[in-house]
């Protein structure tokens, strides 16, 4: 049973450093014990050999057999202990590495974690613009999941909003898991170091819904037939030693093996590479079975692995069966097939396992994804005790106090208060170059995404409804599709319009819209777009250099509000405070920046 901490340590860097050192000491101790056991096993082996020779030479056969069995049992116990120490070593090393990585992450060095690049989608409503996946992304910052299920589940949570009730349930579970540091870290450690890619998992899932090859047919008796043929062959050798015709007794076995070869090959391709991953999943579930869930949401998820049979034991059994079928990689399996139809026996056992567990195994995989994703969010909350769980409401307002960019170090982060209606309203954000407009848009977007996932947010407080985020910030040309940057932006804006029309609670973040055309058309088009989005009950922020758009606040005072980020100009020096203010930006710095770059104005 893993005990919860009373509180988060005051100095997390020191905590992670101490834990890294403690687990490194464990690694060193286990290595010493492993070395001693290896030497002891070698000595034991030679003592056993010489003792058996002596006993067999000087005592009755029965005593010799008994002594051999006793020495063999002792040797296998040593092997079992050695393998157990190897597993302990892997876990301890994973924990030492994890705490070292967490120590680095406290200094904003998190390149060692998975980037989530596999989930990158340039066409997604917001993940590309908000740096959800890829290098230095939100996923890389948050994720601690090691299995494909855990990574995929977290990616889903960061890519689409959960329901109102689900967010509240996840928040409670995050709070519960936050202080269970040992449970969370061992969860990572048990899942570390083994390959469990989507391709092999998809093959395994295909096998789970496949048809039986042996089970339910007369071929399930072939292992017994093969053994009878082997006995008959041995009997014939007493009178017809290795005469060629005596090998004909194996003909029925050979014919059946040939008939089923393709089917066995197909099954083996679907299951053969999953053995290591299944061992990982079994270890993860075994670890989770020792934890007592405390929230209704966790208790509900735990029902996926709680039944009259142990999920971890069943997965371990499946891994064992796959491993036995993998003996096919050995050239000597031809003799095992002739003597006992080895392939068909283990295919039959696998099909029996599938018949008993094909429904439950998908639930077990689902549970692993859920608990790993919750563990990642809980770890984020643990690492940031100054962040807060947002209040999810049904009111059409977003109210944030000291909102900061989650991916910026605390020393560099500038927080701002921000509030806005979330229906039929637009904030027009103006500011000079480098004033932080894009960063502010991402600050709002990332915190909404975190809130939608059930996570803590980088803020002193945040109240908001469940919002659907869509962005238009990074629009580039595409030579392959013969698409200009301006046309790419128009296609993106069309998606914004369509989403606002078809869905409620859409919050848009638009940066420098229609920048690829002349100033007259840009102003006209931007004004029309903003009014159209407001009329369709959308809400959001539009960042622009077009200061004339600021006049819209006078025309539509209840629908528009001007906010800005200013710069303090002192001679040729620029000072940015990145603080949000009301009104239209009054300071312009483009000419100074161009002069500093060598342009003679």
pLDDT for the residue numbered 594 = 43
DSSP label at residue 127: T
Domain boundary among 81, 107, 133: 107
Token digits for 115?
A: 């980037």
Ramachandran assignment for 558, one of left (phi > 0), alpha (psi -120 to 50 degrees), beta (any other): alpha
Q: Clarify whether residues 228 and 354 are in a common domain.
A: yes
Of residues 585 and 101, the one with the higher pLDDT is 101
> Is 163 domain-assigned?
no
**Rounded CA gap, 596 and 76, in Å?**
76
**Is the CB of residue 125 less than 8 Å from the CB of residue 495?**
yes
> Is 129 domain-assigned?
no
pLDDT for the residue numbered 593 = 45
Q: Clarify whether residues 411 and 545 are in a common domain.
A: yes
Q: Clarify whether residues 523 and 568 are in a common domain.
A: yes
Q: Clarify whether residues 230 and 368 are in a common domain.
A: yes
The model's pLDDT over 486-512, given as tens digits with 9 standing for 90+, comes to: 778 888 999 999 999 999 999 999 998
Q: Clarify whether residues 317 and 444 are in a common domain.
A: no
**Rounded CA gap, 529 and 538, in Å?**
11
Q: Clarify whether residues 457 and 350 are in a common domain.
A: no
- Report the CATH number at residue 546: 3.40.50.300
> Is 139 domain-assigned?
no
Q: How do the residues of the chain divide into helix, strand and coil, expressed in percent and rounded to 5?
A: 60, 10, 30
pLDDT for the residue numbered 482 = 44
Which among 432, 435, 425, 430 has a CA at the least distance from the CA of 547?
Answer: 430
Q: Clarify whether residues 363 and 454 are in a common domain.
A: no
Kindly report the pTM of this predicted structure. 0.90
Element (H, E) at 15: helix 12-58
Q: Clarify whether residues 367 and 487 are in a common domain.
A: no
> Is 175 domain-assigned?
no
Domain boundary among 43, 76, 107: 107
> Is 317 domain-assigned?
yes
The model's pLDDT over 351-363, given as tens digits with 9 standing for 90+, comes to: 999 999 988 999 9
Q: Which domain holds residue 210?
A: 198-372
pLDDT for the residue numbered 573 = 63
Of residues 94 and 253, the one with the higher pLDDT is 94
pLDDT for the residue numbered 453 = 98
Question: What is the number of domains present in the chain?
Answer: 3
DSSP label at residue 242: T
> Is 92 domain-assigned?
yes
Beta bridge partners of 428: 542, 562
Domain boundary among 107, 130, 151: 107
**Rounded CA gap, 534 and 512, in Å?**
18
Q: Clarify whether residues 366 and 395 are in a common domain.
A: no
* CA torsion angle 175 177 179 185 (round to 10): -150
Token digits for 568?
A: 């303090």
The model's pLDDT over 144-200, given as tens digits with 9 standing for 90+, comes to: 999 999 999 999 999 999 999 999 999 999 999 999 999 999 999 999 876 667 788
Q: Clarify whether residues 412 and 317 are in a common domain.
A: no
Token digits for 82?
A: 């050695």
Q: Clarify whether residues 366 and 439 are in a common domain.
A: no
Q: Clarify whether residues 353 and 397 are in a common domain.
A: no
Cβ neighbours around 391 below 10 Å, total: 14
The full DSSP string for 245-281 is: GGGGGGHHHHHHHHHHHHHHHHHHHHHGGGHHHHHHH
The C-alpha angle 463, 465, 469, rounded to 5 degrees, equals 110
């Amino acid at each position: 049973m893993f005990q919860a901490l009373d509180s988060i340590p005051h100095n997390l860097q020191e905590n992670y450093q101490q834990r890294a050192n403690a687990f490194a000491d464990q690694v060193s101790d286990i290595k010493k014990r492993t070395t001693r056991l290896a030497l002891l096993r070698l000595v034991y082996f030679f003592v056993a050999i010489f003792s058996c020779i002596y006993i067999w030479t000087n005592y009755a056969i029965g005593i010799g057999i008994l002594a051999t069995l006793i020495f063999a049992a002792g040797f296998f116990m040593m092997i079992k202990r050695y393998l157990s120490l190897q597993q302990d070593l892997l876990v301890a090393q994973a924990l030492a590495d994890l705490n070292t990585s967490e120590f680095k992450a406290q200094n904003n060095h998190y390149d060692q974690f998975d980037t989530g690049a596999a989930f990158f989608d340039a066409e997604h409503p917001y993940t590309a613009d908000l740096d959800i996946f890829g290098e230095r992304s939100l996923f890389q910052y948050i994720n601690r999941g090691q299995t494909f299920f855990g990574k995929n589940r977290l990616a889903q949570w960061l890519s689409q909003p959960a329901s109102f009730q689900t967010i509240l349930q996840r928040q409670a579970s995050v709070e519960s898991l936050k202080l269970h540091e040992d449970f969370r870290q061992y969860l990572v450690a048990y899942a570390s170091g083994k390959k469990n890619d989507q391709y092999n998992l998809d093959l395994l899932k295909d096998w789970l819904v496949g048809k039986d090859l042996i089970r339910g047919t007369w071929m399930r008796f072939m292992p017994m037939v093969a053994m009878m043929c082997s006995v008959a062959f041995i009997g014939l050798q007493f009178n017809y030693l290795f005469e060629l015709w005596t090998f004909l007794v194996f003909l029925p076995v050979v014919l059946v093996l040939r008939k089923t070869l393709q089917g066995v090959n197909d099954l083996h391709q679907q299951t053969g590479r999953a053995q290591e991953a299944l061992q990982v999943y079994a270890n993860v579930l075994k670890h989770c079975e020792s934890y007592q869930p405390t929230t209704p949401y966790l208790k509900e998820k735990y029902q996926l692995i709680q039944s009259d049979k142990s999920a971890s034991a069943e997965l371990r059994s499946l891994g064992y069966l796959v491993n036995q079928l993998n003996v096919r990689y050995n050239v000597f399996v031809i003799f095992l097939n002739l003597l006992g139809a080895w392939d068909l026996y283990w295919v039959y056992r696998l099909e029996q396992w599938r018949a008993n567990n094909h429904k439950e195994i998908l639930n077990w995989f689902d549970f692993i994804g859920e608990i790993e994703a919750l563990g990642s969010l809980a770890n984020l909350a643990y690492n940031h005790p100054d962040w807060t769980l947002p209040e999810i409401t049904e009111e059409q307002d977003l109210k944030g106090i000291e909102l900061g960019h989650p991916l910026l170090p605390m020393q560099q982060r500038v927080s701002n208060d921000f509030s806005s209606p979330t229906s039929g309203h637009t904030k027009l954000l103006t500011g000079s170059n480098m004033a932080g407009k894009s960063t502010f848009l991402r600050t709002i977007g990332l915190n909404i995404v975190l809130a939608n996932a059930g996570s803590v947010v980088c803020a002193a407080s945040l109240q908001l409804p469940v919002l659907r985020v869509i962005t238009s910030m990074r629009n580039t040309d595409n030579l392959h599709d013969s698409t200009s940057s301006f046309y790419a932006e128009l296609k993106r804006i069309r998606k914004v319009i369509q989403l606002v029309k078809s869905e409620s609670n859409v919050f848009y973040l638009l940066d420098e819209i229609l920048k690829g055309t002349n100033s007259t058309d840009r102003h006209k088009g931007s004004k029309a777009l903003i009014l159209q989005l407001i009329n369709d009950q959308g809400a959001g922020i539009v960042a622009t250099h077009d200061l004339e758009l600021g006049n819209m606040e006078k025309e539509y005072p209840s629908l528009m509000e001007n906010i800005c980020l200013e710069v303090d100009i002192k001679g040729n020096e620029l000072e940015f405070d990145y603080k949000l203010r009301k009104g239209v930006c009054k300071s312009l710095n483009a000419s100074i920046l161009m002069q500093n770059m060598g342009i003679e104005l």
